Amino acid sequence: MNRRQLLLGAAALPLLPAAVSAAPPHHAGHHHGEGKQGEAEAPTGSPAQTPIGPVDTAAKWAIITDFNTRAVLLDKDADAPMAPSSMTKMMTAYLVYSALKSGKLRLSDELPVSEKAWRMGWSMAKSSAMGVDINTKIKVEDLIRGMVVVSGNDACIVLAEGIAGSEQQFAELMNAKAREFGMTSTHFVNSSGWPDPGHVSTCRDLATLAARLIQDFPEYLHYDSEKSFKYGNIEQENRNPLVQRGTGDGLKTGHTEEGGYGLVGTSQRDGRRVIMVLNGMTSMHQRAEEAERLLDWAFREFEDVKLFAAGDVVDQAPVWLGASATVPLVGGRDVVLTLPRSWRKNAKISVQYDAPVRAPIARGTTVGKITVSGEGVPAMDVPLLAGADVPRLGLPGRAMAVLSHYVMGS
């Protein structure tokens, strides 16, 4: 049995279609609001790492991922513990949407405002607030807007108490969901992101949470892209600069003195969605400019490429003692990669399997792999599957095949 390897240059690979086009060229803390400039230190440290080389960013912590492929496009201390500030509210939103989906809550339900929730509103210095009144009831949909659009800490507590009875118990639900998502460096103490030494996360964990929020509840994403929300006589703007500029449709800003100014942003262009988590910037203006710059960079420098579709035949492998002389080899699924736009010059794609493949062969059996590699190209192995059943020859047929092999060398 021989190891068969086919090395295919990207430009010569016949099953590669044209690339999918891409777009052209706190809230928490001692300061749990964003109306004033924070006291965070200027970001320091090394540049962010990317598949195409280092990229400078003013963010102290950062990660950019492709939503469809989960490829990491940029990483700067993405696993370092940090204060997640009001970006925490994405998990609160996830649990609220889960309650809506299960029927435990309805958008029209009204939830009571406790003294704790009221005190976390306008009466709390430097707190982002919806402006709820004590001993009143507020519709769930208004509370969602109060939480997502204007980052109301008071709205978070009303929702948390309405779902779990207390904010402390709600935080346990948040942590259980974080464990389920594999957010191993995250621990929540409250529903809003209000500063606490034990309330921590990482850029990578927040990117994971953002992807699940978009994936599991796309029907609620429209709240994140609303530019303002009026409750009572007070109208407040969404602090997300990407939403205000029309270049993004979510997800959440945050600010604390400990963490600086942060943002979980997302945008979709030409069918491709990018998720970006930045934190540790020194002002709202710096956050806005950096978010816009890096988002444009991610769309400009990378593209989603379909290497092959599920039914594409990659090769015909010879079969030993089979009813058919060959078996088609397929990927078994659509394989889409996020690659630098220069990938066609650098990519190396190889097909590897042991030949001949011994019969009987069941369709879907893994018989080899496709390996993608190259300078600036994220390494990836894709299983190569048998695309058809090939039964074993009967005894007379096997005898003739063995005889032919030894006598004629075929």
* Active-site residue list: 86, 89, 151
Top pLDDT among 14 and 184 is at: 184
Angle between helices 203-216 and 89-102 (to 10 degrees): 30
List CB contacts of 263: < 8 A, sequence separation 6 or more: 87, 240, 241, 242, 252, 253, 254, 276, 277, 278, 279, 287, 291
The pLDDT score that the predictor gives to residue 172 is 98
Percent pLDDT > 70 in the chain is: 83
The pLDDT score that the predictor gives to residue 3 is 66
Q: Would you say residue 253 has pLDDT above 90?
A: yes
Q: In the structure, what pLDDT confidence band is assigned to residue 373 with cuts at 50, 70 and 90?
A: confident
Top pLDDT among 27 and 345 is at: 345
The pLDDT score that the predictor gives to residue 244 is 96
Q: In the structure, what pLDDT confidence band is assigned to residue 46 with cuts at 50, 70 and 90?
A: confident
Q: In the structure, what pLDDT confidence band is assigned to residue 127 with cuts at 50, 70 and 90?
A: confident
The pLDDT score that the predictor gives to residue 31 is 43
Distance, in Å, from the CA atom of 20 to the CA atom of 320, rounded to the nearest integer, reads: 39
Q: Would you say residue 166 has pLDDT above 80?
A: yes
- CA dist 169 → 140, 146, 157, 161, 175 (Å): 19, 21, 11, 8, 10
24-28, 181-185, 230-234, 249-253: the lowest-pLDDT one: 24-28
What one-letter code names the amino acid at 331?
Answer: G
Sign of the alpha-carbon torsion through 337, 340, 343, 348: negative
The pLDDT score that the predictor gives to residue 122 is 73
Of 329, 336, 371, nearest to 350 by C-alpha is: 371
The pLDDT score that the predictor gives to residue 41 is 44
Q: Would you say residue 379 has pLDDT above 90?
A: no
Q: Would you say residue 402 has pLDDT above 70?
A: no
The model's pTM: 0.81
Q: In the structure, what pLDDT confidence band is assigned to residue 143 with cuts at 50, 70 and 90?
A: very high
Distance, in Å, from the CA atom of 259 to the CA atom of 91, rounded to the nearest integer, reads: 18
CATH class label, 2-18+306-408: mainly beta
Mean pLDDT of the chain: 86
CATH architecture classification, 61-302? 3-Layer(aba) Sandwich (3.40)
Q: Which three-class secondary structure state does DSSP give residue 228?
A: strand
The pLDDT score that the predictor gives to residue 399 is 44
Q: Would you say residue 19 has pLDDT above 50?
A: no
Mean pLDDT over 12-32 rounds to 36
Top pLDDT among 6 and 160 is at: 160
Q: In the structure, what pLDDT confidence band is assigned to residue 26 with cuts at 50, 70 and 90?
A: very low
What is the per-residue pLDDT across 67-81, written as a single tens digit (0 to 9) for each? 998 999 999 999 999
Q: Would you say residue 397 has pLDDT above 70?
A: no
Mean pLDDT over 216-220 rounds to 98
Q: In the structure, what pLDDT confidence band is assigned to residue 395 with cuts at 50, 70 and 90?
A: low
Domain residue ranges in the chain: 2-18+306-408, 61-302
Mean pLDDT over 188-214 rounds to 97
Output the 3-class SS for 242-282.
HHHHCCCCEEEEEEECCCEEEEEEEEEECCEEEEEEEEEEC
Mean pLDDT over 309-326 rounds to 90
